[in-house]
Chains A and B, each alone.
Chain A
C-alpha cells in the first residue's frame, strides 16, 4: 500500500486517525500512576526458622546447614545466603531476575518438606517470606506530646494508626517506641528470703487474687440473684496491700509492699524513639504489595489532615519521611526537561526552515509520537517513571528527523513547480524507503534493549520498547500526516511568489549565512581530501589519546550515579554490651552534634534499641541490639541549601567519629534500592571462624586506608560476652531438682514474670514481677538466687551450679553454603571501580591462609554483570545496524565505512565525562550504546547521497563535495534537534537529576564529536576505499 497516496487522498481519515491516537493517549496519560523506577520485584525468598534456646553455632549446624543443603537445588537459584543467630536461622535465596516468584516459592516449599524431617524436633516450622518492595515504608510519621505523653501509645493507635489501616493501599501501620503502662513489682530478694518466699509463689498469689468469678445464682421467693466474687484489682494501689504470706513468727501478715516496691509506671523500654531531641513515638506506614507509592502516600496524607483534628492540642504529628516526595519531584523535573527539549527542537527547525507552516507541520510529529508511548505504558500496566520519561527525552529530538527529510523532499518538488497535492505524494514516496531504512537502524539499536536480562533488563527494557514505538510512530506520521498536511498547507510556487515578499529580505539574508557555512564546509572537505594521510593519522591519534587516557584521567566506573535524595540515615553501633540508657546518652550527644553541624536538617528521628516485635530486622539483613541506634533525617529541599547531601554526610562523619564508645558508624545518603548491600563488599569465605575474622580485620584496615572509602564495616558481629550457668546435674538429682525449674527460677528473677494483668477502662496492662534493678547488678546476686527444692528447702544457685564467662559469635553468615564474613564500605568522591582496583592491589600482598577464598560482591558484582550485559548488547547493536545498512546499500563496504563514526562517538562520550566530572556509570554506558544508532544516521545520509551523486555521473571527488554541501543542512538539523532535545536532560539540577544527567551528557558529547568527525573523516575514508576499489576494477 502506498501510504502517502492513501492518506493524502483521505485528509479527514488522517485527521481522525491522529485525533483518535491523541485522545486515547491523553486518556492513558491521565490514568497512568507515577513511580520512580519501573516495577522491580527483587527475586528474593527468605526462609525463617526459629530454634529456641540454641546458640548461633547450634543453629548453624542443626538448622541452617540442613535447609541450605535441601534448597541448593531449587531451579533458577542464583545465590544462597544465610545468617544464623541465637534462636533464629534466616536463609535467603536470590533467584535470577525475571523468575516467577510464585513458582519459585512453591519449589522452595517442596524442598523444605524434605528438609523438615532432618531438623531438630525443638525447632519450629520454617516460614517462607517473599521479599517485596512493598516492605519499603511509604511514610514515616512521628508523634510527640507533653501532658498526654503517658497515654500517647493508646491515643495514637486508636486515633491515627487504626483509621490509617483502612485507607486503600495501606498494608500495615507499625508503631515504635511509644510509652506502655506497666505495673512493676520490684522484689527485694533479701526480704523475700527472710519470709521464705520466692517469685513463683508471689506470682501465684497475684494470679489467685486478681480474679472475678461468676459463682452461680440463688433463688429467693420470686427473685433470682446472681452470685459474683469481684476480686479483680480495681486500683493499682490495691496491689501493694495483697497478703502474700503469714509472718513466719506467726504474729502477723506479710503484705506485698513488705517485700517489694510497687510502681504504676511505664514499661522499661528496649527501644527508644527521640524526635527532634524530644520524646515521642514513630509510625511506619507500609503499602500493600502492588499498590502505588505515590497514590498511597497522597491518600494517607489526606486522611491524616482529617485525623489530626481529633488529637489533643499538645500532641503533634509530623511527617519524617514521605516516600512519594522524591518521586513526584523527580518526575516533575524530568517532565520540565522534556517540555524544554521540545521547545528547543521546535526552535532549531524554525531557524533552519524559516517558514512557520513547514515548522509547524514537522513539530506536530512530536506530540503524536510521544503520546503513543503513554498508550503503550497504559496497556502494559506500567508507570510513568524516570526510565519512561528519559525515553521520551531521548526520542523527542529524533522523532522529527523523518518528518524533516520527507518535508524537505516535498518542498523541493513544490519549488520546482509541482502542486503541493501531487508533490506531497511523490515527495514522500520517493524518499519513503530511505527514511524507513534510517529509522530501522535506530530500531536495530533500541529493540535489542528489550532482550537484556538481569537488573539492566528491568531498567532498560522499557526504554527499548518505548523508543522503538515512538520512532516507528514518527515514521508512520511522516508517511501519512506530514504529506497530508503539506498537500493542504504548503503554497504552490505561484502563490508563494506573491506572498513571500514580506519575509524575503530576512529569508535571503539568513540564506546567505547558510550558504557561507556550506562553502566553508566544502573548502574544509576539499582540504581534507587533499591531505588524507594527515586526517587519518590525526583521527587515529585523537582516538588513541582520549580512549587511552580515560582510565587515568576519568572519574572511573560506577554502577548507578548517586543522587541527592535530601535524606541522611545514620547507623551507630556502640561497644557490645552497652545498655539502652548508655545508648540513649550517646544518641543525645549525636543529636546535639547534628543540630549544630547540619542546620540543613529539618527533621530528625532517633531510634535506639531492639524492636519488641522481633525479627523484622534480621530479614532485612540489618543488625539490631540495645547498643545500636539509628538516626533518620530529612533535609531541606535541594535548591534551598548550599551543601549537597554528600558534603553534609562527610562533615557529620568527621564530627561524629571522635565520640567515645562508637565502634561502628555508617552514614547513608540514599534509600538503598537494590537490596541493602553497600556499594563495596568483599566476601571472605572460609570455615574457620577465628582465621576468617582475623583476615576480615586486616582487610578492614586496608579498605579503611584506601582513599575514597567510608563507613567500613564487618558483617560478623564482635564476639559477645555471656554468662553461662553450668549446672551440676548430680547435685540437682540428689535434691530433686531439674534444669527446667532452675532455669525458670533464674529467668523469673532476672528477666521477670507476668503472672496476671491489670484491667482499667477496658484496657489491659501487664503486672510484671522481677528483682529490683539494684539487685540485678552483680554476679553474686545471680549466684545467690534461692531455689526451692521439692522438700521445701532452699538452696542457693552457687551450691548447684558454677557461673562462667564465655565468648561466642552472636551471628554467623553463610554464602552458597559456606561461612562468610563480608567487609563492606560506602564510597565517596571516588568511583567504585577505582576503589575496588586499589583494594585488590593491596590485598594481593596479603598472605591468605589456606582454605579461605575472597570474592568481590556488592554493587561491583552488579556493575560487572551489567557492564558485561551492555557490552554484549553493544556488539549485538553493531551487528544489527550493519545488517540493516548492508541491505539498504546492497553493499558490504559502505556500512563498514559508515561504522567509522562509531568509535568517535565513544571519544565524545569520554571527553564529555571528563569535562563534566561524571563517572562512567551504567547510565553513561547506556548512552554510549544508544549513540551507535544515532550517529550512523548522519553517516548514512552522507554516504547514501555520495553514492547517488556518483551514480548520477559525477567524478568521485566532485561527488563527495557536492553531496557534502547538499547534505550539510539535513545532517546539522537532525543532529542539533537530537542534541538540544537532550540538553535539558543533561543540565537539569533538580531532585533525582544525577541519575539521568550522565545519559544526556554522554549522548550530547558523543553525538557532537562523532558528527564533526563524520563530516570530515567518513568522506575521506570513503574516497580512500572507493578509489582503491575503482582502480582495481579498472585494472
Chain B
C-alpha cells in the first residue's frame, strides 16, 4: 500500500476527482482551503488579497499498482493546467487499522 498526497489548486478540483474515479479509488481524505507555495516556480496560494488562490490536499492510500496510473493522470492534468499547479507525493504505508 502506498499513500499518495495530491496538492492542487482549487481550480482543478474536478480534474482530480475524475482521476480518482477513473481508477476506482474510493477512499481518500481531503483538506480544503490550505496554503502553500511551490519550491521553484508558480504563484503562492495564500488566500490573501495579494495571492488570492487557495489549495486543496487529497490524501489517498491505494494499492501499489494503482500509483503509476494515478501519477500519469496527474501529469496529464499538469500539462493542461500548469499555471494552476498540482503536485503529488508518494510514500509507503506501514500498517492500516
Contacts and interface: CB of A to CB of B under 8 A. Distances in A.
Interface in A97-129: none
Contact of A418 (B50, B51, B54, B84): B84
Interface in B42-94: 49-54, 80-84
Nearest to A434: B49
Interface residues of B, number: 18
A422 B49 contact: no
Contact of A416 (B15, B49, B52, B83): B83
B84 A417 contact: yes
Interface in A928-984: 947-948, 951-952
A423 B80 contact: no
B49 A948 contact: yes
Interface in A449-475: none
Contacts of B81: 416-418, 493
Contacts of A419: 11-12, 14-15
A418 B12 contact: yes
A149 interface: no
B22 interface: no
A417 B80 contact: yes
Nearest to A433: B49
Interface string A426-445: 10001101100000000000
B17 to A, nearest CB: 10
Contacts of B12: 417-419, 422
Nearest to B78: A417
A952 B14 CA distance: 28
A370 B73 CA distance: 47
Contacts of A430: 52-53
B18 to A, nearest CB: 10
B49 A423 contact: no
Given A418-B81, A418-B84, A493-B80, A413 B11 contact: yes
Indicate the member of A418, A423, A426, A493 with the most B CB atoms within 10 Å: A418
A952 B53 CA distance: 13
Contacts of A425: 10
Given A417-B81, A417-B82, A421-B14, A426 B51 contact: no
Interface in B11-53: 11-15, 49-53
Nearest to B14: A419
Nearest to A427: B11
B52 A431 contact: yes
A426 B11 contact: yes
Given A417-B83, A417-B84, A493-B80, A948 B50 contact: yes
Contacts of A796: none
A849 to B, nearest CB: 70
Classify the interface of chain A: helix, strand, loop or mixed. Answer: helix
A421 B14 CA distance: 9
A729 interface: no
Contacts of B49: 433-434, 948
A269 to B, nearest CB: 81
A243 B64 CA distance: 140
Nearest to A414: B11
Nearest to B77: A417
A494 interface: yes
Nearest to A492: B80
Nearest to A417: B81
Contact of B84 (A416, A431, A494, A951): A416
A413 to B, nearest CB: 5
A153 B3 CA distance: 105
A422 B14 contact: yes
A433 B82 CA distance: 26
Contacts of A947: 50
A948 B52 CA distance: 10
Indicate the member of A413, A947, A951 with the most B CB atoms within 10 Å: A413
Given A493-B80, A494-B80, A418 B11 contact: yes
Contacts of B9: 418
B76 to A, nearest CB: 11
A426 B49 CA distance: 13
B53 A426 contact: yes
B39 to A, nearest CB: 16
B50 A951 contact: yes
Contacts of B51: 952
A413 B12 CA distance: 10
B11 A416 contact: yes
Contacts of A426: 10-11, 53-54
A427 to B, nearest CB: 8
A422 B11 contact: yes
A41 B49 CA distance: 50
Nearest to A888: B49
Indicate the member of B11, B12, B53 with the most A CB atoms within 10 Å: B11
A862 to B, nearest CB: 47
A494 B50 CA distance: 29
A415 to B, nearest CB: 9
Nearest to B9: A418
A493 B12 CA distance: 12
A422 B15 CA distance: 10
A425 B52 CA distance: 13
Nearest to B47: A430
A702 to B, nearest CB: 64
A425 B13 CA distance: 11
A421 B12 CA distance: 10
Given A431-B52, A434-B49, A948-B49, A422 B13 contact: yes
Contacts of A421: 14
Contacts of B14: 419, 421-422
Contacts of B11: 413, 416-419, 422-423, 426
A383 to B, nearest CB: 44
Contacts of B52: 430-431
Nearest to A421: B14
Contacts of B10: 422, 425-426
Interface of A: 413, 416-419, 421-423, 425-426, 430-431, 433-434, 493-494, 947-948, 951-952
24 contacts: A413-B11, A416-B84, A417-B12, A417-B80, A417-B82, A418-B9, A418-B84, A419-B12, A419-B14, A421-B14, A422-B10, A422-B11, A422-B12, A423-B11, A425-B10, A426-B10, A426-B11, A430-B53, A434-B49, A493-B80, A493-B81, A948-B49, A948-B50, A952-B51
8 closest cross-chain pairs (CB), A and B: A417-B81, A418-B11, A430-B52, A416-B83, A951-B50, A417-B80, A422-B11, A419-B14
Given A418-B9, A422-B14, A426-B10, 13 more contacts: A413-B11, A416-B11, A416-B81, A417-B83, A422-B10, A422-B12, A426-B11, A426-B53, A430-B52, A430-B53, A493-B80, A493-B81, A948-B49
